[in-house]
Amino acid sequence: MAISAPVIVAEDSNRIDTRLVEQIYRQLYRIRHVEEEVARIYPSDKIKSPVHLSIGQEAVAVGVCAALAEDDVVFGTYRSHAAYLAKGGDLRAMFAELYGKQTGCCAGKGGSMHLVDVDHGVMGTSAVVGTTIPQAAGYAYSLQQTGSRRVVVAFFGDGAAEEGVFYETLNFAALKSLPLLFVCENNGFAINTPQRARVKVADIAARARAFGVTSVALPDDDVLQLREATQTAIGQLRSGDGPYFIECPTYRWKEHVGPGEDWHLGFRSNEDARPWIEADQVARIGQLLPATRRLAVEAEIQAEVADAVAFAESSLFPGPPELFTDVEVLSPEQTLQGASADGSITERTLRYSEAIREATAQEMARDEQVVVLGLGVNDFGRWIYGTTRELADEFGESRCFDTPLSEDAMTGAAIGAAMAGMRPVHVHIRQDFLLLCMNQLINMAAKAHYMYGGRVSVPLVVRSVIGKSWGQGAQHSQALQSLFMHIPGLKVVAPTTPYDAKGLLIQSIRDDNPTIFIEHRLLHFQQGPVPELAYTVPFGKARVLAPGTDVTLVGISWMAIECLRARAYLEQAGISAEVIDPVSLSPLDLQTIMRSASRTRRVVVVDNGWTTCGASAEIVAGLTEGGCSERTVWRMGFAPTTCPPTPSLENLFYPDGRSIAAFVHATCLGGDPSWNPSVEIHPEQLEFRGPF
């Protein structure tokens, strides 16, 4: 493929604009030389993370970033050395990061695949294909809401255009007219499979166009033409007419991972590469400069790169304590604790759903960065039990809006908005559906603060509904709290009372970390005292719902209600049960449970989930490690099967007050196995007495 060199003309003459040529060449050569040094050093094992070199693809990042303003923002993928450097990322910090040193751009915790430089608008790169595309959209949404004219660029490869999240994000970006530029670096192979073997329709720009996105497919990676195309795109985005899509063919000279070549693998050949190498943009642009000036630029860059390498090699590795820093953002202590003006607790009664709605509205009024998004949140609250009722009327549809049916992309967008400074509350009508966005929650929300060395925070609340719902069966009845408890970087809460629901939601919104906020559907109808003023409930503090002396019942979410029912049943047999609601599952308050166990000498943990590797298993393990005998600690939970919809079996799947009481009477206290409480206790007969 032959590429002819266009003439670059200055505005006031017919001469070639050597300043622009030198600027472009400096960036191209700098990236090329940096990666050649990385390739040279890599076999020595000094570089501590896998590298994905962009040698041959430099023109895309340089052409695009040459048209950006300093305060514009870029997101990238794992092959993003070029984008990081073209946008102005710190070279010393990049080399130190590759070396795993504490002076790295991510303090040695990110490596080559996770680069960030917030000061220069590099908001992060990801090792998972397509992951940062929706985050770029969320960041763009945040900019749009502030009236900013800044734009966001999402760099990705042709392989990412096969991910579902790519199409979900195109739809959302077009729906909201976001100031987002999609840039597809199409090298034709993704990893090592030719595009023709992966897709029927190779025209990626046409796919974007189908979503109503202005799209351009360039014929090659001519850096100057790409700069001009990007200028056109940026002008359109700044005018509010977004998004925009550019597909740019390019070619990767090196193997997918590492500094070598991969011609021997058989998926491409030297013959394939020859036209691209002959049209190398680095050499081509360099030829437009006078030789003396070109050599001077190269010498300056060689010295700069040598300095960066020396800096990386002389820097220290992170010390052992750094293993545990940046797992979470250490937020300031909240001081509001629900007291009214005269210091008393208001005995006003609200439903659980009303408490959540009030907490959300009070936080939206206090902080305009708080936004609510999700399926049905603007549908008069009908789908979310009234918890978002009329919020769109009160605060506007830009701050409370329904989302497309795109769990993966919309969770990523919420993460991106949080990175930009918003405080999103993302509502999922079923926790089962969080399985569709686990990559965003686990690989990005939970890890971003750590893997970016504390440079990025994700103040995100993910509300999700769990629970029994009259025959809804296998895929609408799950509770996945134990899965999220397993992941460092996520906070997990499951408040039971209306009081805790309001206070803990406010606490979660104000916290600078991602929080999974779990609501059992039946809890939305429970009533209890809730102060009118804003207040917070701290993470990591369990609640004693009722005192007792003979046995401790620990109930998670709705199972706290069933434990209160069990307590009432056990009273019929003269047994006194203490009921504890953990409230917060990660962090978890084992001390309160341990103190109760030391008094009652018997503990039954009842989870609204499966016992195997579950939340109850974690609590039991903690109690056992803390000194409780395995003969005094038991657990109950879902039957070890998939939830059936038929009532005759469904009733056996969930523990309830009667089965808990019978278990305690027979197993924990050695009572009559045939004992059964005589008086029925219904949940609505239970009373929450504040302030607990």
The token pair at 188 is: 């034709």
Residues 6+ apart with CB under 8 A from 556: 481, 494, 581, 582, 585, 605, 606, 607, 608, 609, 615, 616
Please pick, among 407, 519, 618, 650, the residue that the annotation labels catalytic. 407
The token pair at 308 is: 């960066």
Residue 252 amino acid letter: R
The token pair at 467 is: 């629970």
Element (H, E) at 578: strand 577-581
Upstream peptide bond of 318 is cis (omega within 30 degrees of 0): no
Kindly give the pairing relationship between strand 551-555 and strand 603-610. parallel
**Residue found under tokens 């460092």:** 488
Distances from the Cα of 507 to the Cα of 189, 388, 391, 407, 510, angstroms? 47, 18, 19, 24, 5
- Cα 684 from Cα 672, distance rounded (Å): 29
- Cα 388 from Cα 399, distance rounded (Å): 12
DSSP 164-210: HHHHHHHHHHHHHT-SEEEEEEE-S-TTTS-GGGT-S---HHHHHHT
- Cα 677 from Cα 686, distance rounded (Å): 17
The token pair at 108 is: 């040695």
**In terms of Cα–Cα distance, which of 444, 428, 470, 431 is closest to 646?**
470
- Cα 548 from Cα 629, distance rounded (Å): 20
DSSP 421-455: T-EEEEEES-GGGGGGGHIIIIIIITTHHHHTTTS
476 classed as catalytic: yes
Please check whether residue 234 is in contact with residue 71, taking contact to mean a CB–CB distance below 8 angstroms.
no
Residue 502 amino acid letter: K
304 classed as catalytic: no
* Residue 503: burial class (beta carbons within 10 Å; 0-12, 13-18, 19+): buried
Torsion of CA 473, 465, 378, 394, to 10 degrees: 160
If DSSP codes are grouped into helix, strand and coil, which group holds residue 156?
strand
**In terms of Cα–Cα distance, which of 229, 299, 220 is closest to 56?**
220
**Residue found under tokens 């940026």:** 234
Please pick, among 476, 520, 524, 665, the residue that the annotation labels catalytic. 476
Q: Nearest-5° angle of CA 621, CA 626, CA 632?
A: 65
The token pair at 346 is: 């208001």
If DSSP codes are grouped into helix, strand and coil, which group holds residue 122?
strand
**In terms of Cα–Cα distance, which of 655, 678, 674, 654 is closest to 665?**
674
Output b/e per residue, 434-470; b: 16+ Cβ within 10 A.
bebbbbbbbbbbbbbbbbbbbbbbbbbbbbbbbbbee
Active site residues: 407, 476
